[in-house]
Amino acid sequence: MIAALGVDAGRPVSLDTLIRRLWDDNPPAQPRVSLHSYIARIRRRLRALDCGELLVQQAHAYTLDIRPEQVDCHRFHQLTATARSLSDSGDDQEALRVLRDADELRRGEPLTGLPGLWAERTRSVLEERQLSAQLIRIAIELRGGHFAEVVPDLATLLEEHPTDELLAGQLMTATYGCGRQADALRVYDTVRRRLLEDLGADPGETLTRLHGLILNGAPVHSLPPRTEPVVTGPQTLPSHAELVGREAELAVIVHNAVPLSTASPATRTVIALQTVSGMAGVGKSTIALHAARRLAPFFPEGAAYLDLQAHSPGQEPLAPEAALTSLIRAFGVPAADLPHDMDGLVSLWRSLLSNRRAVVVLDDAAGPQQLRPLLPGASPSLIIVTSRRRLTGLPGIRSIQLDVLPPKDAVALFRSVAGGDRTLQSGEVADIVRLAGYLPLAIELAAGRLASRPSWTTAHLLRRLTHGQGRLKEIRDGARGEIGMAFDISYRALTSEQQTVFRFLGLRFGPDVDTFGIAALTGLPQDTAEDALESLMDVHLIQEPVPERYTLHDLLGEYSRALAMAEETDSARDEAISRVIDFYLQASDVADRMIYPRSLRTDRPPPPARHSLPPWDDPLAARRWLLAERAALITAERHCRTTGRLHEAGVLAGALAAFLDDEGYSADAQRMHASAVQHWHTVGERQSEVHALIDLGNALSHCGRYDEALTALGQAHRAAADLDDAEAGAEALHQLGVLHWNTGQLTEALEFQLRTLRLRTASGDIWQISRSRNNLGITYLYLGRFQESQENFDLALTGFRRSADMREYAHVLNNLSDLHLHMGSTDSARKLLQEALATLKESGNPSERAITQVNLANTMASPRELVAMLDLYQQSLTTFRRLGDRRNASETLHAMGTALHAAGRFSEAAARHEHALELARSVGAAHEEAQALHSLGLAEHRLGQDRSAAAHITHAIEVADRIGAAREAAQARESLTAVHNAGEKARSTETE
């Protein structure tokens, strides 16, 4: 946080900017709360140092109220700029003195240890500044004739930047000055070869002239005293496919651009703007990038690339302000120097390019409005723009519209993808590329299809294209030209039912879907939908990432959505969405009843059976379906919640409550249940409100928001009493007992569990009585009342056996093993866990088996049994990762770290705890976060990193205090005291 504010010292930084800098695109559930917490802690530290109020809060922003020169990076930049000015004025000795002052501010890698994209970008900028300072110093040393002194530094820098001609020229000068002519010439040959291999370019004029002087044995003093940089700007062009054909179009771009590179300032009156337009898949980006690389020798002061994202799936086109910021930063301007208004950014961008010969590729532009602020004005630079639209109304524009490939080039592209040995029949290949419309993307798809099917021949592929559902043909759709000819060709070749399925795939809620979901979306019979999906698979319009689940490539998904919007009426789309929501309500309810047959339910009848459901043979199959559809179900609930379908949202939240609770998706669950509580309260459905309050309390508890959970469960208990709903009242008490156990309030937890048992005993429900007995066994265990714990566990085992619930029976065995461990009976604990594992193989799910394996590993002793422990942990971790269960993955990583710590492998232990911390934070699991922070601090302490250890343990205490976890907080305080005492002892020893 301090670093994020320090780079803008003296300037306000918005909360949104701080959130992005700290957490990228994955902030915690309440990022602003975390920010305010950090600010409060920093203020306390500053006050303790008598620094005053340096953190100033403004509307939605914070300012670190200090002068920029009080921050090392800004001071370094100022000193480097001063040194450059002194050097330019001829005062080299004073420039060296200033550079030494600047160098004293360096302390290793900038922002060491700070993660995230913002830190990486800032670190890169600061490292570029350090390189700039080194180059100034080296240039001064060369002018002073200190050749031998700078050769090692230059050799190292050129290894890191092998195509930097400025460094190459300096190293050639230095080695030649040492009398090593052959070494100087060898440097030139090496750089020339690298430039040719990497960039397809020859060395620039300045380096070539220097090479000639050295080759001819010119006196050292006649070499250029200040080698002008040939490449001073960014080199951010991405890698790309080889260009097949397009030589004529490429020649036009080069022909238009080369005269500009040598034009005098007086003739630069218009913007040099080359646009490349055409349909999707025609190769606009490829030719633009090839042109930029070929023109690099003529525009040696930078080659930059920016994706303007006009057609990036799921993203808005890049705003001009964001685009300018990215471009300016690419040219080395630090974030601290960026203007905070649009006019300032435009002015700075034009100033940067006013005398710079660079080439800038702006890819996938949305239109003139997005582009106008990005154009540099009169400049020797070249701007190449690609767009799916024809761009007009821009100054200095030169346009090329790409068409499909000529037949000869189309054949060459097909052969380059499919392989020469598979494409010997020239006539058949020519017919295939003709049927593909000579469109590069369509050709690549057809050739890739052949390459991926070893048994096929070109004749077989040709028959499929001419007679099957995948025939490609040339077609132009003016209304949707930007979507791409290849997709439209394939779409128009489909049957009506296949077209319907493809269109409605664009309305799906999740990343993938099964045939039953598609049948609901389209209103088609399930077997008809399945046949259509198989046909779409044959023509590569959809993919099957896992068996019987279907998805689309991002661009095809965009195309599918556009078709649905264009070819379906509003009412048809609404009906499709309503059908799939009805399907999800019905399927989720059935799956919930299969997996959790004894869960608390309202008197409301289940949703009507309107759709075909997957034929689940057992609860495990139903759970697999819920896992596969999780993202879609959560998105569907959010859609209902935000579009006025609050009844459906509430019903879906209730049906998913147990599943989301089991799988650790508590952050999603608490949002869903909070909305459900509000809705049921508004419409007066009191029983539904009580159940939603219980679900909300559980979700809040799992997020570590214990005070809010206590409020929700308390409301549920009181409302259940008003309704005389004994079952719901008992469940609320049960969860209140669990909540108090989680916060370390064991006496209160025991009281709630005893009250729950009395209610359930009165009801005579053996299963619920056994559930209460199990919880009492756990509570008595942690109270140290082992005899009572054993009695309750035994009664729970008997009850679950009588209820034929072997899954819960195994859960009790797990808990009973913990009791035996506490009593020092490790062997019996292991036997109980092995019995639990055997039971869960028949009745449990992979997650429960993995949890039991973790518990079994926990009974082992490290380091003696470390190998076996780590094997069990890794098996479980693999299961949790496959299921997307981050909470249990965090617990497993923590256990691995603890085992490694006990074996003295502290670095590995710290790494596991750090990963556990990351996962815990990602799901808002505060208890696991505190646990990981504490253990990470202990590992760091053993590694001698006491400052970091103290910080992590202090944070663990803060998290534990915040959630009311008294036991964890007390343990962490003991560890913090030990760390401080060890530090005091070490300092005392040093003093002695």
From CA 746, how far away is CA 767, in angstroms rounded? 24
Identify whether the C-beta of residue 832 lies closer than 8 Å to the C-beta of residue 854.
no
Identify whether the C-beta of residue 582 lies closer than 8 Å to the C-beta of residue 519.
no
Higher pLDDT, 189 or 331: 189
Rounded average pLDDT over 441-465: 77
Identify whether the C-beta of residue 56 lies closer than 8 Å to the C-beta of residue 62.
yes
Going by C-alpha positions, the residue among 561, 591, 573, 539 that lies closest to residue 480 is 561
Tens of pLDDT along 749-776? 999 999 999 999 998 999 999 999 999 9
* 546, β-bridge pairs: 549
From CA 596, how far away is CA 829, in angstroms rounded? 28
From CA 584, how far away is CA 510, in angstroms rounded? 12
From CA 809, how far away is CA 798, in angstroms rounded? 8
Pairing of strands 61-64, 12-14: antiparallel
Quick one: tokens of 411? 């054949």
Going by C-alpha positions, the residue among 744, 752, 820, 832 that lies closest to residue 789 is 820
* 365, β-bridge pairs: 387
Does 863 sit behind a cis peptide bond, omega within 30 degrees of 0 on the bond before it? yes
C-alpha distance across the termini of the chain, in Å: 38
Question: In 526-569, where does DSSP find H-type helix?
Answer: 526-538, 554-567
Identify whether the C-beta of residue 517 lies closer than 8 Å to the C-beta of residue 580.
yes
Q: Within 10 Å of residue 531's Cβ, how many Cβ atoms? A: 17
Which residues, in sequence order, are CB contacts of 207 under 8 Å at separation 6+?
165, 168, 169, 172, 188, 191, 230
Q: Is a pLDDT exceeding 60 seen at residue 141? A: yes
* Long-range CB contacts (within 8 A, 24+) of 451-457: 451/417, 451/418, 451/419, 451/422, 457/422, 457/425
Going by C-alpha positions, the residue among 617, 670, 638, 630 that lies closest to residue 885 is 630
From CA 364, how far away is CA 558, in angstroms rounded? 15
Identify whether the C-beta of residue 862 lies closer than 8 Å to the C-beta of residue 909.
no
- HSE, side-chain direction, 13 A CA sphere, residue 516: 17
Identify whether the C-beta of residue 952 lies closer than 8 Å to the C-beta of residue 937.
yes
Q: The whole model's pTM is what?
A: 0.51
3-state DSSP assignment of residue 130: helix
**CA 385 to the chain's CA centroid:** 28
3-state DSSP assignment of residue 551: strand
Quick one: tokens of 581? 């929501």
Higher pLDDT, 315 or 405: 405
Q: Is a pLDDT exceeding 70 seen at residue 91? A: yes
Rounded average pLDDT over 897-915: 93
Q: What is the mean pLDDT of the chain?
A: 83
Rounded average pLDDT over 476-497: 54
From CA 785, how far away is CA 779, in angstroms rounded? 9
From CA 476, how far away is CA 875, in angstroms rounded? 53
Alpha-carbon torsion 412, 417, 420, 421, what sign? negative
Which residues, in sequence order, are CB contacts of 332 under 8 Å at separation 6+?
125, 128, 233, 234
Which residues, in sequence order, are CB contacts of 301 under 8 Å at separation 6+?
229, 231, 232, 233, 356, 357, 358
Tens of pLDDT along 208-252? 888 888 888 888 877 765 444 333 468 888 877 678 888 888 888
From CA 375, how far away is CA 669, in angstroms rounded? 47
From CA 738, how far away is CA 940, in angstroms rounded? 33
Confidence of residue 14 (pLDDT cuts 50, 70, 90): confident
Quick one: tokens of 429? 């290949």
Q: What is the largest CA-CA distance in the chain?
A: 106
Pairing of strands 382-387, 543-546: unpaired
3-state DSSP assignment of residue 765: coil
Identify whether the C-beta of residue 238 lies closer than 8 Å to the C-beta of residue 348.
no
Give pLDDT, residue 452. Answer: 74
Q: Which range is least confidently modeled, 174-188, 328-342, 809-823, 903-917?
A: 328-342
From CA 95, how far away is CA 89, in angstroms rounded? 10
Q: Is a pLDDT exceeding 60 seen at residue 650? A: yes
Rounded average pLDDT over 598-622: 84
From CA 151, how far away is CA 153, in angstroms rounded? 6
Host H or E run for residue 237: none
Higher pLDDT, 583 or 432: 583
From CA 49, how far away is CA 527, in angstroms rounded? 73
